[in-house]
Structures are given as structure tokens and as C-alpha cells.
Structure 1
Amino acid sequence: MDTNYSFKIYDNTSSLPIEWNSISSGNNIFLTREYLQVLEQSAPVNMTCHFIGLFQGEELVGIALSQFLNLNKMESFGDRDKCVKTAIRNSVFKNFTSHILIIGNNMLTGQNAFVFSDKIDTIQALKTLKKASEKLKVIFKKKGTKIHITTFKDFSIEEITNFESAGFQNHFRFCTQPNMVFEIPNQWKSEQDYIDALLKKYRDQYKRARKKADSIEKRKMHLEDIIKHEETIYELYHHVAQNAYFNTFFLAKNHFRTFKELLKDKFLFYGYFIDNKLIGFNTLIKNGNVMDTYFLGYDESIQREKMLYLNMLYDMVAYSINKGFKEIVFARTALEIKSSIGAKPKEMFGFAQHTNSVADLVFEKAFNYLEPKVVWQERNPFK
């Protein structure tokens, strides 16, 4: 088999090959032309995206996404932890690791870096993708930007063997917070099946949360509703993002509107109201038979009183079961509460390398020091 692959790098979706979606559709919505247009039109201000096509001769046999992050443009990395370690971390990120090239999607959790056709030799394809990352570094250098770190993310333990065979042995292999994944049993057909499967302690938690939220009205919001409430939506989102452990970007204000315009019914937006006032929202993305949870926002004072976040999680589970999805990707953050509703941790790995060979030697120690550690207890809510 001919494994002589080439690559092309695109900086806009209008230049993508017409057959692009024949590779992505049915495999991963986050590499379709429509989703990439969302990034093109409403990426965070500190993010620049490129799209990579892998070719065997003239035939497109693989597609990939790259994101460049300029952390110097960040207003804040997250304000939850105000301590010396956080200040040191922020200073190091600003000065030594502020220009990051990612093969993958930093806005999502999971393998959203590439899709290869069945015809492709995975090892050779990864080698070609590595060459594409080197070419991107040259492209940025010509524009006056030096890439500090190149990273490939997020991959399961089964997938990383291919990387090691493809020449990534000299890269630092890292493991960050797990992806929280909820696998829906085939026999469950409704939310009641989920409730019935819970242990008494967690069934009582479910009932208590639902009762607390009695006064809240949940509404499916359409494009015109999202546009109407755009200012409030952004305030609610930004409050949650600002109080996270660590951020490398903030969404653009028009992000949710753009998502709905381009992904239509594949993107779900639910608002939570009290007396017609929007006090929270969550978003979901249909990705084949997998439901991906996306960004959310809420009024903190009401969230605590009404157990709003927990109710949102229950709503996501209920919708996904009722609509026949096989799995819910709950991503990172809030690990323990997601565990309490039934999500299980799935380890995700990445590979990173610092451009400076001297800095690369201490990169692993620095990463382990700076990566936010979260202590949490895994729960098992089911009988």
C-alpha cells in the first residue's frame, strides 16, 4: 500500500476541499465544515484556527484541526484560586508558554483532533500530521510569532500507542483531568429508568434537587431568543468561566448565536427562567449517537439556592435517554458532582514539546507543578 502522504493547510473554510465532509460526517461533528465555520466566525479573541487536509496522491484521506492560543491576550486565567502558586503559574504561562499550538480542540474534551479514512495507515498519517505542525510553526514565525509549545490532545490510553510508534517518544506525555462520560444502558428508554436505577441516597438527592427547582421554568431557546438575550447569556457564561480553576480562552459574545445559525438543530440551547428573567442556561451538541455537553452559565446566588447546576445535569441525562443517545460527554470540571449523577472518569492523554530544547528538559516538572490538581471522590450512584 502506498503510504506516501502529503498535507495542505487551510486558513479559511471556503478553501476546504469539497469532499471535506465526506471524511468528517458520521465520524465527528466537530470536524465538519459547518462546525469549523463556527470557529472561523466566533473563535475566542486569542485563538487562531487552521484546518489540515491529508492526501494520498490527489485523494483526501484525513482531516485535522489546529488551534493557536496566545495567552498574552488573556484578561485572566481564572480567579477561583488566589494564592502564590496561582500567581507564579500565571507569570510562567505569560512569559514562557504563552504561544501554544494545539493539534486538537482546546474548547472540547475528547479526540476531536483528526479523522482519518479507513484507507489510511494511522502511523504514517500521524507522522504527516507532525510534519504539518512543524509547517504551522514556520507559518507563525513568518508572521513574527514564535511557538513555545506544540501539543496533541486528547487521546485514550488505547490511542497513544500509535503516537509512540509515529515518533512522539521524545515528547512529554501528560495526563490532565479526566473526561467524565455517562454511558447509557441499552435497556433505558426514559428518565424513569434512570431514577429507578439510583440507590436510595441518590434518588433522594434527585427528588430534593427537583423540588428545589419547582419555581424555575426551562425553555428551549431558538435563534431569535438567543439573540434577544445575548447580553445576559454572556454575563452568565462569563461569571462561571471567570470562577473556573484555569482558563486559556473566553468565548466571543456572538459564539452561541453563531453556533445556532450554523449547526441549527444539532445545537440545543436551554434557558432557565424565574418570573421571565433568564437566570441560567446550558447547551448540548448532537454528535452522532453521542451527546456532548457544552458551555453553560448561571446566577451563582440562585444556583446555590435552587441546586440549578445539578438540575441541569439531570436534564441533560433525561433528554439524552429519552432521545436514544448512547453516551453523554460531560467533559472536565465539577468531577465529583458529575460522578454523583452517574458519569465515569475516562483518562485522556496528550503529547507536548517545548520549542526550546533547554526549556523542554524542565517542561515536565513545570507542567506537573502548574497543572491545577483537583482532589475529588468518585461516586457510584447506581444499585
Structure 2
Amino acid sequence: MDNNTFKIYTTTDLLPENWNEVAIENEFLQKNYLSVLEKSAPVNMQCFYIGIFEKNELIGVALAQFLDLNKLTSFGERDKCLKTTIRNFIFRNFASHVLFIGNNMITGQNGYSFSKEMDFACISKIMNDCANELKDYFAKQGKKIHIVSFKDFYEKCAKELKKHEFKNYHEFNIQPNMIFNLQNRWKSFDEYINSFTKKYRDQYKRARKKFDSVIVKELTITDVESENDRIYNLYYHVAKNAPFNTFFLSKNHFETFKKQCDNRFKIYGYYFENKLVGFHTILVNGKVLETYFLGYDETVQKDKMLYLNMLYNMTQFGIENNFEKILFGRTAMEIKSSIGAEPIYMSGFIYHTNKLINKYIDKLFDRLEPKVAWQQRHPFK
């Protein structure tokens, strides 16, 4: 552990040449994706890229993000109630400067990657030291970090991290990551559909019947450039109607992503009466298919069951291209479970830099975090 050091970079141009070799297991830590963040991060986000060294050898990479919630005009407009008003007031006044060690834009354990086996005492110390250095960095700029959060760890990792530097931090679990482990016995999409119970085969048939007049096509970079405003407006409609948001993507985000990652990042457009009414995105991450942001016209979505059909289409792509699993992320858990995804709970760790507030962070967090009631569906025979 004593031989390990780290360096924090503010631009991808300065990253070590062998960065991708260390980050090879995770597309979300490779230079192309980090360049997407650098060129098209949300307006209230600043990203930092962390190189971890053993002596002079790069052995680990990590990501950190600073969010200034004061720059948001809205945290989400779906829920309008007293609790939401109180929550927004508290966030603006006591939690507006948030430091994430990890990636707040996606769900999953995407915060760090190492090229060698590392013990959790070392990992937790490095992440904690990085957070402290970034707090000092912002303090010198006259900005006080209110909240530090270490984001998204699967159960085994969270359990180990709690034994070390994270033992005094509040562990939280929010909405689960909906993960679909694709079964080897499904050699085709038809075999997947035939494994449904009658209720869910009927759901599939009903959705496809309503969807019949919608045309789906994979968008080229030229298509994305020409449809950029429409794509963003469809995304923004969905995002602002979420129960809670800490960021909104920049208007050039999807175009930048497509240019940087090319065929590994796919955007599918949904057209009705020659008009783009929806889109979904996926990222190829080794044998894992990562779903990303989507958007749709609410009026067409209801009539054509766009969202459910998007889930079927992503599943079909995963099966036909031999992926092992699809990560559907958080939100809309019930409908995602109806096509086969299962909830995997992940932990995060959080603390407030004000000692008095931090003393009650567990109670505050539990009261302010939006709760979602949902019923898991079991679609297979």
C-alpha cells in the first residue's frame, strides 16, 4: 500500500498512454468515453480522471465527478408535493456541492478498474485519499464540498469496503440495478418469447401489434447530427419528468458519444408518420450490453407502447449478438422485470462534511430519498 500513489487529471489529453490497457475491462473508463464526458458533460458537472500507480507503473484508473446543483433549474418535475419542496430546499442550501467518486450518470460498478489484484483496504484508502485531495482542490477555489459519495458497489465489494476506510460512512441502497442474465438455451429471439408464460406472450403480442406502424432504424452519425435537436428534446422530456435528477445531459452529448465511440455506441430511432418519436441507446461493453439514455414522445409512447417495445428490441439485440447480460439500470423496475430483468441491489457510501449534519445523515437520507413501490414480475414458465 505504501508504494501506491495517485494523480488526478483534469483533461484526457494528459492521461498516460497505457490508460486503456488498465481500463480494458470497462468501456466506461476508457479514453473514448472519458472524452465524451470531457466534451459534453452536463453543464453542472466537472469530471476528474484518476491514475493510480505502483511506484511508476500505472495499475489502476478511476473517475470522479463534481456536481453543482445550484446550476440546475429543476431537480425533476414529476412529483409535486411538500416533501419534494423541502427536499429541493435542503439540496440547494446544504448539499449543492456534491463530489462523487464514481460515475453518477450511469448505474453499475464503473468507478474504478485495476490491472492487478488489489485488496480492499488499499482500494478504500486510495478512494478516500482522492476525495480528500479533491475537497482541498475546491476549497482553494472557494467552493466547499458538502457531500462526498462513493457510488455503486455490488454486495461483496460493499461488505469488504465497510471493513476499512468506509466503516464510518453511511451505506445506502436506492433503486436496484435491473440486470437481465441471458440464458444459453435461447438461441434465437423466438425461443426467448416462447419461454414466456401465456400472460407475457400475450403482452408481447399486444405490444407488437400496437407497434406495427412504427419504423425502427439504427442512426448513423449523419442521422444523429441532423436529428440532434429532436433527440435531445425527446430525452429532456423524459428526464425532466423523472422524480429526481442531479444533472441534465448537454445538447451535444449523443452526437459526441456517437463520434467518439462509433459502432460500440448505437442509437436506434423510432419513426411514426416520418417523424422521430423516440430513440434508445446501447453501449457494447465486452460481453455486457449496457443500456444508456432514451427518449420518447409521450403521446405516441402511450398509443404505440414505445417503451416496452424498446425493451424487447434491446433484448433481441442482446440475444442475437450473444451477449451474456443486459444492464437495464434503475427506474421502471416493474416493466423491466416483465421482460426478464431481475433486481440487483447496489450500495453506495455517503457522508456530509458538516459533522452535525453528518451525525444524522442516515435519517436525513432515508427521508429525502424518493421511495418507489413496485411489484416484481416473473414472466417465464
Report the TM-score range of the alignment, normalised by the length of the smaller protein.
over 0.9
Amino acid of the residue matched to residue 270 of structure 2? Y
How many Å separate the matches in 2 of 1:129 and 1:205? Answer: 46
Amino acid of the residue matched to residue 380 of structure 1? H
User: 1:356 offset after TM fit, Å?
Assistant: 0.8
User: 1:126 offset after TM fit, Å?
Assistant: 2.2
Instruction: Please list the CA deviations of residues 209-267 of structure 1 after superposition, one character each: whole Å capped at 9, or x if unmatched.
Output: 00000100001001110010111111111100011011000000000000000001000
8 Å contact from structure 2 (residues 338, 377) kept in 1: yes
How many Å separate the matches in 2 of 1:270 and 1:110? Answer: 23
How many Å separate the matches in 2 of 1:89 and 1:102? Answer: 19
SS of the residue aligned with 1:158?
helix
How many Å separate the matches in 2 of 1:264 and 1:189? Answer: 27
Quote the residue 1:302 is aligned against. Answer: 300
1:268 partnered with 2:248: no
Instruction: Please list the CA deviations of residues 96-127 of structure 1 after superposition, one character each: whole Å capped at 9, or x if unmatched.
Output: 11111001101100101000122433321321
1:121 partnered with 2:129: no
Size of the alignment, in residue pairs?
Answer: 381
Quote the residue 2:18 is aligned against. Answer: 19
Q: Between the two proteins, what is the percent identity of the paired residues?
A: 53
8 Å contact from structure 2 (residues 40, 252) kept in 1: yes
SS of the residue aligned with 2:74?
coil
For structure 2, the residue ranges without an aligned partner over 5 or more in a row are none
Q: For 1:98-177, list aligned pairs within 5 A.
A: 98-177=96-175
SS of the residue aligned with 2:283?
strand
How many Å separate the matches in 1 of 2:159 and 2:376? Answer: 27
Structure 1 length normalisation: TM-score? 0.98
8 Å contact from structure 2 (residues 287, 323) kept in 1: yes
How many Å separate the matches in 2 of 1:129 and 1:60? Answer: 16
Amino acid of the residue matched to residue 19 of structure 2? W
Amino acid of the residue matched to residue 315 of structure 2? V
User: 1:189 offset after TM fit, Å?
Assistant: 1.8
More displaced stretch, 354-363 vs 36-45: 354-363
1:212 partnered with 2:206: no
8 Å contact from structure 2 (residues 120, 161) kept in 1: no
Amino acid of the residue matched to residue 7 of structure 1? F
How many Å separate the matches in 2 of 1:275 and 1:305? Answer: 14
How many Å separate the matches in 2 of 1:165 and 1:120? Answer: 15
| RMSD, aligned α-carbons | 0.9
Q: For 1:195-344, list aligned pairs within 5 A.
A: 195-344=193-342
Instruction: Please list the CA deviations of residues 186-216 of structure 1 after superposition, one character each: whole Å capped at 9, or x if unmatched.
Output: 1212111110110000000000000000100
Structure 2 length normalisation: TM-score? 0.99
SS of the residue aligned with 2:156?
coil
How many Å separate the matches in 2 of 1:82 and 1:134? Answer: 36
How many Å separate the matches in 2 of 1:265 and 1:206? Answer: 29
Quote the residue 1:43 is aligned against. Answer: 41
User: 1:162 offset after TM fit, Å?
Assistant: 2.4
Quote the residue 2:32 is aligned against. Answer: 34
User: 1:50 offset after TM fit, Å?
Assistant: 0.2
Amino acid of the residue matched to residue 345 of structure 1? P
For structure 1, the residue ranges without an aligned partner over 5 or more in a row are none
8 Å contact from structure 1 (residues 116, 122) kept in 2: no
8 Å contact from structure 2 (residues 64, 100) kept in 1: yes
1:381 partnered with 2:366: no
Instruction: Please list the CA deviations of residues 355-378 of structure 1 after superposition, one character each: whole Å capped at 9, or x if unmatched.
Output: 111110121111100100000000
